[in-house]
Amino acid sequence: MALGKALFSRLGTAKAIDGRTLTADALKKTDLLFIRSTCRVTEDLLKDSPVRFIGSGVVGTDHIDFDTARNHGVHIATAPGCNAESVADYVIAALLVIGERQKRSWQGATLGIVGVGNVGKRVWQFAEQALGMRVIGCDPPRQEQGDWAARDFVSYETLLEQADVITFHVPLNREGPHQTVGMFSGPIVRKVKPGAVLLNFARGPVCDNALLATMLGAGLLSDAAIDCWEGEPDYSPDLAAVAAVTTPHIAGHAYEGKANGSIMVYQAACEFLNIESGPLPRFPKAPVSKLEIDCADRSDEQVLRIAVQATCDIEGDTGRFRAAFDSNVEQRKQNFDALRKHYPFRRLFSATTLTLLHASPAIAEKLRSLGFTVLCKTTRNTTTVRKRKVTVPS
């Protein structure tokens, strides 16, 4: 967990262990447990355990049995929204890669967002302001709650019919009125607009992976970007072979996404223990903290691709994922986890300052909308600086 040693050692003796293989025996002297999604909180894990606080530094909660935790008197803290901007950065990177692959611009195309929560709202802002896309949203729970901002959302069926790009940002609900397991499966997929692009940056079981592979092979979908897979850490070789972008569930792994999750659960633990949290550690410098781009004779999307590729190398992530494929299932699973554990250091777009030469006001504003700090050279020795004004659908 990012900043784990710096933060959690303030609370006591901190020990790092493998969350995927964690057992009850390892918790016999543990009061506070901090986890990510690879660790499953179950009855077997908590039985006869002294654990009284669990901090899950990720957005999803499907790895936690909340009823069991309550029955054992364990307080649970999570980190909603901690990696929203990291995932949104990754969505934009994926769209730019696919746009270049298809030799098309996304200006005026329709993006359908399924699940307009913390991540979906940020994706909406980025796609609309930076790529010029028309955005439609689908979020039945928000509509049922009478959320005024959701009044213009469309049905899932309508979204599938209209969207040139479908992107999922829903939690994994296995039951109830808003079940999301298998959301993209069965007869309803016949409603998909021919040649649409599908992105899954939510949870693997939201989409039927075998069906996705079949639809891509048949040309019913023109492309896909898959970061979340059914059966993780295993995954479908058939789908991995035909999707344009394939990555090992690391869209939210920009340093801020992981560090914010750690900070949120650390602060929750301090509140639980009734102690002061103290100052927070500084984030390390971005790998590309400054970049100069000459915009002359380049389209807006070419400039966007240069800036985004330099700071969020999704093509490199895809290449490493493909190179790590192994026909042996156990080895494939180990490779998947290794890619996550050793993921190259990445910061958000907002950690990079761009200097633009010969830039139009339009491209400068598009880059600012993604979070970049933008300096525009107006003469040889003169620059103008503006930071973004953020407007997020509420």
Q: Give the active site residues.
A: 203, 232, 249
CB-neighbour burial class of residue 307 (10 A; exposed 0-12, middle 13-18, buried 19+): buried
The answer to whether 313 touches 279, Cβ cutoff 8 Å, is: no
Nearest to 239 by CA among 207, 279, 210: 210
**Sheet strands (E) in the chain:** 32-35, 53-56, 75-77, 110-114, 134-138, 165-168, 196-200, 221-226, 245-246, 290-294, 353-357, 373-379, 382-386
Q: Is 137 left (phi over 0), alpha (psi -120 to 50) or beta?
A: beta
**Residue count (the chain):** 394
Residue type, 115: G
Non-local (6+) Cβ contacts of 227 within 8 A are 90, 200, 201, 245, 247, 248, 249, 250, 251
State how far the Cα of 161 lies from the Cα of 193, in Å rounded to an integer.
5
Q: How many CA atoms lie within 13 A of 119 on its CB side?
A: 30
The answer to whether 207 touches 214, Cβ cutoff 8 Å, is: no
C-alpha gyration radius of the chain:
22
Nearest to 255 by CA among 57, 11, 9: 57
Q: 197 pairs with which residues across the strands?
A: 165, 223
> What distances in angstroms separate CA 345 from CA 6, 112, 251, 340, 376, one per listed residue?
18, 30, 12, 11, 27
State how far the Cα of 47 lies from the Cα of 39, in Å rounded to an integer.
15
- Alpha-carbon torsion (244, 247, 249, 252), positive or negative: negative
Q: How many CA atoms lie within 13 A of 7 on its CB side?
A: 28
